[in-house]
Amino acid sequence: MMTALLAPPETGAMLLLPVGHGSPGIALQRALETGARLEGAGPIAGTFVVDGDRGRLAPLMLNAGVLILAAPAPLCGQSRRATA
């Protein structure tokens, strides 16, 4: 059941979690290159919430050492919009 809660949606809000040697800056840059939109910082330092397409994000995030997880509002904030 926990796996289903953490599985990222096909499209929509996703939490990017760099692991190992994954760089938060590189993760965000690559995510934006796929057309994902930054929604804001994640609940853990170095994480980001983006709105994007899992199929486009997955290959780049895997190569960058970044896990893609679901970004439920209770964990990642009700208002995930980044402010410019």
Task: Count the domains in the chain.
Answer: 1
Decide if 19 is inside a domain: yes
Residue 2 belongs to a domain: no
Q: 23 pLDDT band (50/70/90 cuts)?
A: confident
Residue 81 within any structural domain of the chain: no
The domain that holds 38 is classified in CATH as 3.30.70
Q: What are 38-54's pLDDT values in tens digits?
A: 999 999 899 999 999 99
Question: What six digits make up the tokens of 52?
Answer: 């994007």
Please give the sequence-ordered ranges of beta strands (E in DSSP) within 1-84, or none if there are none.
11-18, 37-41, 48-53, 66-70
pTM for this model (two decimals): 0.81
Is residue 4 situated within a structural domain? no
Answer yes or no: is 84 within a domain.
Answer: no
pLDDT of 33 reads 94
Locate 73 and state its tokens: 């509002």
Domain that residue 35 falls in: 10-73
